Structure 1
Amino acid sequence: MQGIRSFFIAASGIAILAMAALFTASLTVAFIGVLAVISAARILTARLKPAPIPVKTRNQRDMRIWNDGKGTIIDL
């Protein structure tokens, strides 16, 4: 009787350990999948942003830049 009880306790311990390992592995795969989707979305949105257009003024002395506390003002 003692041998059967020991066998069932050992078998249930191994089963619980295997379930915990499977749960951890599935969470790891899900986390890697979410990170892959987020990385792909960031790469695609970076490509969709328009390129900035450089602006040249006629004369640098005519341009005034100041900050009024709400934001930077550039007067061309």
Structure 2
Amino acid sequence: MQNIRSFFVIITAIAALAAAALLTASLTVAFMGTLAVLSLGKALSSRLKPVPVRAKTKQNDMRVWNDGRGTIIDM
């Protein structure tokens, strides 16, 4: 009787460990799938954004003149 009870306890423990391992593996696969979809969406959305164009202003020219009272530097 003791051997049969030990056998069922061992089988139950093995089944519980297998269920925990299956749950862990399925959650890992689901998490990796979610990360893959998010990274793919980020990569595609960055391609669809227009590239910003840098506009240069004409304020780069510095004007210097003397009005008789001192030198004026217009930046």
Q: TM-score, normalised by structure 2?
A: 0.77
Distance in 2, Cα, partners of 1:59 & 1:35: 47
Runs of 4+ displaced beyond 2 Å? 59-62
| 1:52 matches 2:52 | yes
- Report the equivalent of 2:5: 5
Percent identity between the aligned chains? Answer: 56
- Report the equivalent of 1:31: 31
Structure exhibiting the larger radius of gyration computed from Cα positions = 2
Q: Which amino acid aligns with 1:45?
A: S
Give the secondary structure class of the aligned counterpart of 1:46.
helix
Distance in 2, Cα, partners of 1:12 & 1:41: 43
Structure 2 gaps of 5+ residues are 63-75
Q: TM-score, normalised by structure 1?
A: 0.76
Distance in 1, Cα, partners of 2:32 & 2:39: 10
Structure 1 gaps of 5+ residues are 63-76
Distance in 1, Cα, partners of 2:59 & 2:2: 96
Cα deviation for residue 54 of structure 1 reads: 1.4
Cα deviation for residue 61 of structure 1 reads: 5.5
Deviations, residues 14-70 of structure 1 (Å, cap 9, x unaligned): 0000000000000000000000000001000100110011101123268xxxxxxxx
